[in-house]
Chains A and B, each alone.
Chain A
Amino acid sequence: MSDTQVEHAEQTGLAHQFEDLSQQHDADTFGIWIFLVTEIMFFGGVFAGYAILRWFYFAAFEGGSHLLDIRLGAFNTVVLLGSSLTMALAVRSAQIGSRRAQIIFLTWTLILGGVFLGIKAYEYHQKFVEHIVPSLDWAPEGEVLARLAPGGLNHAQLYFFFYFGMTGLHALHMIIGMGLLFWLLLRARRGDFTPAYFAPVEVVGLYWHFVDIVWIFLFPLLYLIGGRY
């Protein structure tokens, strides 16, 4: 065994390809930032489509938007921002080496993420009740129909496709994030993270904040089209 490999064995959590933990931490955080840039572009494709079709069919998008429950949307925003706070605090706890606080904050992040998805699921359910799920269950009637009709039903369907597409993609990211949080929780309980080695917490944290940012934009873009006055 060469000298470097002996050193490696001494530093917990250090992978063989790195010289020291500092280099590894740098690479890990830079790596997740690059990944988040790819995520920006990934969501960007849908946002570009959204921007153009909304510009084409503003009335329809407005009509569709008004069928969403603004209170639930705003409440969910608060829930997600709260989970971002607890996530930031979980990273901070890792930085200062408090295992107990890490576990508490990670658990809270998971819970808040769960609440968000629960509310989202309820909203999806509502759409099925109102028959405004594009292509799968599209048969708006009564008052719903009356509100969608001015913009054109076909175009309203496009709005709801974007609604489901964008929130669905976001929810998928949330689910992946919650899986990662669960994994962190297990490792935190095992005491893996120290002030010297907490890159996984920070990396998942950055990802979680990014998912939060996506929602920060989805809320006005989907719920607040054209105002509610």
Chain B
Amino acid sequence: MQGIPIRPDQASTIAQSVDHLYFFITAVTLFFSVLIFSIIFYFMIKYRRRSPDERPKAIEGSLPLEILWTAIPTLIVAVMFVWGSTLYFQNSVAPPGAMEIFVTGKQWMWKVEHPEGQREINELHVPLGRPVKLTMISEDVIHDFFIPAFRIKKDVLPGRYNSMWFEPNKLGTYHLFCAQYCGAFHAGMVGSVIVVEPDEYERWLLGGVQGETIEAAGERIFKESGCSTCHLPDGSGPAPSLTGVYGSTVHLTNGQTLTADDAYIRESIVSPAAKIVSGYKPVMPSFQGQLSEEQILDLVAYIRSIGLPQDNAKEKQQEEGKK
């Protein structure tokens, strides 16, 4: 350690742009602090009381001045708002084709699952220069996945998928923190993010225990948990076929329609009665508490893989949009 650290690493594509805004606000803060401090010091000396009976003239105020120092801060914060929001808005949606990694938070560890089935705990290996989208859920309380070097964080909620994305642009090992208080060993829910060259990442994926891919795991759970006995691929069972469902428009018994996404698939597993597909009876039991969030993620991945092909899904959405 050399002296006192004052800046975290910049290791993602957005880190630099966030820092620029950070420096801008810092500059504004410094400017106004110095301005106020020096004016106060100047007045304190210049207008110090020279005799006990001194009575200064009353000054009521000045409208032009009030307008001036309302307008200037308004302009400055307007710039900050637009700047900060644009940056945030741009970064709120992952670019198409980002590779996806699943994260499950649990008191007090992070479980990471790569699409090829490689699993790790409290570590996250990612390839350099490739956008990565994290889909995250918690098994218990609220956690928060925070990578300071990437300038990103997002709460990991129980019962709901949250996602965020980043594109690492610097090799190295960086801190991973839980930034939402989650109980006794909150401070121990830390790990590291390891950015490696893409080919090294491929090698890493192949190394270690050669497990099944995430879809394969999902398919296995689909069979083991008995899903496949009702959800027959041809739709002849008591439950709708799941082939081609993901990304498609689903019609419900109450007349509503929705696009089948991760949240819908998850809800249908844990509280199947909430949204019943038109033409079917609410006979499915809830799997809440029987499947872990990791297993549900595997199932979601499997149902995605038998869903609409991506191009079709896009076209379909565009059609819906036109209507």
Contact = CB atoms under 8 A, between A and B. Distances in A.
Direct A–B touching, Cβ under 8 Å: yes
A151 B286 CA distance: 13
Interface string A152-183: 11110000000000000000000000000000
Interface in B273-305: 273-274, 276, 282, 286
Nearest to B272: A152
A149 B273 contact: yes
A57 B254 CA distance: 12
Contact of A150 (B271, B282, B286): B282
B322 to A, nearest CB: 28
B271 A154 contact: yes
A152 B271 contact: yes
Interface in A173-200: none
Contacts, number: 19
A59 interface: yes
Contacts of A152: 271, 273-274
B290 to A, nearest CB: 14
Interface residues of B, number: 7
A155 B271 contact: yes
A186 B175 CA distance: 71
B254 A59 contact: yes
A153 B273 contact: yes
Interface in A119-158: 149-155
Contacts of B254: 59
A59 B276 CA distance: 11
Interface in B102-150: none
A155 B274 contact: yes
A54 to B, nearest CB: 14
Nearest to A152: B273
Interface in A44-94: 57, 59-60
Contacts of B273: 149-153
A57 B274 CA distance: 7
B285 to A, nearest CB: 11
A155 B271 CA distance: 9
Contacts of A59: 254, 274
Interface in B13-67: none
Nearest to B274: A152
Nearest to A148: B273
Contacts of A151: 273-274
Contacts of B276: 150
B266 to A, nearest CB: 14
Contacts of A150: 273, 276, 282
Nearest to A154: B271
Contacts of A153: 273
Interface string B155-189: 00000000000000000000000000000000000
A69 B257 CA distance: 32
A195 to B, nearest CB: 48
A153 B282 CA distance: 12
Interface string B247-282: 000000010000000000000000101101000001
**Residue with the greatest number of chain B CB neighbours at <10 A, chosen from A57, A152, A153, A154:** A152
14 contacts: A57-B274, A59-B254, A59-B274, A149-B273, A150-B276, A150-B282, A151-B273, A151-B274, A152-B271, A152-B273, A152-B274, A153-B273, A155-B271, A155-B274
Instruction: Please list the 4 inter-chain residue pairs (A to B) with the smallest Cβ-Cβ separation, ordered nearest first.
Output: A152-B273, A152-B274, A152-B271, A150-B282
Interface of A: 57, 59-60, 149-155
Interface of B: 254, 271, 273-274, 276, 282, 286
Given A59-B254, A153-B273, A154-B286, 15 more contacts: A57-B274, A59-B274, A60-B274, A149-B273, A149-B282, A150-B273, A150-B276, A150-B282, A151-B273, A152-B271, A152-B273, A152-B274, A154-B271, A155-B271, A155-B274
